[in-house]
Structure 1
Amino acid sequence: MAENENTAKLAEVAATELFSEFFWDRSGPINHDWPCEDQERHSVKTHPCDVVYFYDEPYSPVRTYVHCDLKSYAKGTIRPASVKAAIESLAKQVACAEKSDAWRELHGHDHVTAEICGLLFVYNHDGEYESDFQKNLLSVDPEALALPRGSKLFVLGPKEIFWLDNVRDEIQRMRGKRPAELPSHEYCSFFHPQLIRRANLQSKRAKAATLEMLTSPMIILEHRDPRGSSRRGIIVFYSRPGDTADEFMYLIDTLRKHELLDDDTNVLIKTLSASPISSPTFQRAQQQYIEGLNKDAMNTDLAEYVNAIKYEPMNKVKSTYSSIDLGTWQ
């Protein structure tokens, strides 16, 4: 499962394009080694670092640093043993980063409360991997990993990266249309609701999509009117196929609970790899949701807001990068 230099750069290029659209920023150098803080336990003198990204958390005054291991593999080289080894190595890296002055000098910022998590990014550069990537994780025992208590480690496999890359492409496509369907970045942010027990403490600063959002079925992008009016747009990127009215009714109810249905908000739901009957199924869900409220709900403001929600399946795209071209321009 070895990567040559040019193939390895494919994951770097893919991650850079992907996460920049989700408002992640890069911090410090890329592709470097730093001293291990627990050489006896980890059996290494140094740890690798491919890249570190950061974003501000919405529900706490914390900055999250995402220490990444970027892998770029062809279809036949993604195997359970190698994925397990990469996860175990990444867990050690995160454990050391949390107590390493050298790591913080390279990647941290002064006067912020920092949390460090790990991300294994498994990019399939030939676009032909069709197997269930989750089976590669069955042999990984989370309790046996060398992670400090409370630390997190995320894994994005080919399917997840494909989904997120399609969201990225759709955002850029909408922004590039004439007339544009999305304003420039300064008027956009990813939506973090005001929860009952977790208030959004940094609504202006925390514009990024968190890892928790990127690994959930729903990514919500909010955009404001550049002309300064009170109108806003909400785009819900929904990763599930939409084969039943019940799942769409649950989605509509979630939007209502997050107070995203009102006079000043336009709501658009977009899905990828949707069921062939997802459009009529969504229309039925709108009707059933309103009917389920009460017998007179059809004439209420909420019924108007629910009926105004638009639904559009997305077209699939598959981003590919040439290792030959990357090698040529070194």
Structure 2
Amino acid sequence: MAGETSNISQMANKVSEEIFKHFRWECLNLKDENFPCAKPNKHSTKDEYTHPVDVVFYYTDPYTNKRVFFNADLKSYKRDSINPSSIRNALRSLAKAIDCARVSPVWRDRYSYMQDEQPEVRGMLFVYNHDGEFHKHFYSYIRPPDDEGKKRGVNLGKLPLEKNQQIHIVDPKLISYLITIVNDMKVLHFDGTFPKKNYSFFYPDLRLHKTHGESSSRPATIEMLTGPFLIIKHEVAKRFDESTGEQIGEYPMGFVVYYNRSGSTHHEFMYFFDMLSNYQLLESGLKIRVRVACDECSSEMISNFSKAIDAYSQAWGFDGYKKGLLQEIEIERVETVKKVFSSVDIGWRDS
């Protein structure tokens, strides 16, 4: 039983590393460490109180050019263990941990390697459902700060979260979405239509913020991963004969867009087209493939996509050429993937 419990605790760690490495997040080797509380009078009545750190992920934000650290709490829960009480306890613990991490010399020595700067430390609650049986809406357990009624759930206003501090929740549905993207990238690579390494996450230059660094090294930020779509620009994908090493084909440079909405109305696709236009992707001359990775995809998705092309073209008075650019966009649904572990051997299987 002890071995099985230990294996279960490793599942979220294994899944999180497998996911985030494909989005160019870095992971520090120190894991499952505690650090002493720097504010014991505030956080506990115990004389010697420590905060847990399952793992620390980090990346350099493409807009601010500053490193962002995620003090992560990795939970591997079966269906019935995901409830308001467990979520509340985890969020409270995380809030205290990142409050201390900002000022703790121990935390900085171990994780940030930046003694001359104030590190940006955020919390991340990673809730992995290892039996694949959790089908509820996770955020139905979350209450807004101004909800003072008797409704069950986690009242965000009651969390000990300090000003300018953030906690990101990676819930089972988001984990499934990210696993689906990673799996689909591998499938496209196997098919010879997506390169193994030569791809970059697309960041437009904004009016007030410009991007930094080489595009090929930029990570997919947490804001990008939790958004309605994820845009990836890829270079030419080359196929080789394994026996001779000779190139036998190639797929042109282009964009793959992972879409995380249901496609239940044509209006959401009109907004999507507007975004593509504003980012100047429509007239880039590059192929655009939309991969719908939502587990609640509408059966009318393709119909609504076509309807949106007509409506958008009419609204903007597009000529046949520009309408043709929209019609060249490929759209396809991607089957949602879940990873379900065996607690005996920590081997996962698709579900």
> With structure 1 as the length reference, what TM-score do the two structures score?
0.90
CA distance in 1, matches of 2:113, 2:323: 48
Paired letter, 1:181 = T
Which residue of the other structure, out of 191, 199, 212, is the alignment partner of 1:201?
Answer: 212
Aligned counterpart, 2:81 = 77
- Whether the aligned pair in 1 keeps the contact of 2:177 and 2:337 (CA below 8 Å) is no
Aligned counterpart, 2:201 = 190
* Structure 1: runs of 5 or more not aligned: none
Q: Does 1:169 align with 2:183?
A: yes
- Corresponding residue SS for 1:4: helix
Deviation, structure 1 residue 140: 3.2
Aligned counterpart, 2:225 = 214
Q: Which residues of 2 match residues 280-299 of structure 1 at below 5 A?
A: 280-294=303-317, 297-299=318-320
CA distance in 1, matches of 2:336, 2:54: 29
Deviation, structure 1 residue 205: 6.8
Which residue of the other structure, out of 262, 275, 281, is the alignment partner of 2:298?
Answer: 275
* Structure 2: runs of 5 or more not aligned: 144-152, 239-251
CA distance in 2, matches of 1:113, 1:35: 19
Which residue of the other structure, out of 232, 242, 248, is the alignment partner of 2:263?
Answer: 242
CA distance in 1, matches of 2:13, 2:180: 17
Aligned counterpart, 1:65 = 69
Q: Which residues of 2 match residues 35-50 of structure 1 at below 5 A?
A: 35-43=36-44, 45-50=49-54
Give percent identity, aligned residues only: 31
Aligned counterpart, 1:324 = 344
Aligned counterpart, 2:287 = 266
- Whether the aligned pair in 1 keeps the contact of 2:24 and 2:217 (CA below 8 Å) is no
- Whether the aligned pair in 1 keeps the contact of 2:194 and 2:237 (CA below 8 Å) is no
- Corresponding residue SS for 2:255: strand
Paired letter, 2:107 = W
CA distance in 2, matches of 1:49, 1:204: 31
Root mean square deviation, CA, Å: 2.2
CA distance in 2, matches of 1:326, 1:320: 9
CA distance in 2, matches of 1:54, 1:197: 24
- Whether the aligned pair in 2 keeps the contact of 1:232 and 1:264 (CA below 8 Å) is no
- Whether the aligned pair in 2 keeps the contact of 1:80 and 1:135 (CA below 8 Å) is no
Deviation, structure 1 residue 250: 0.8
Paired letter, 2:207 = I
How many residues are treated as equivalent by the alignment?
A: 317
Aligned counterpart, 1:133 = 138
CA distance in 2, matches of 1:191, 1:89: 34
Deviation, structure 1 residue 125: 0.3
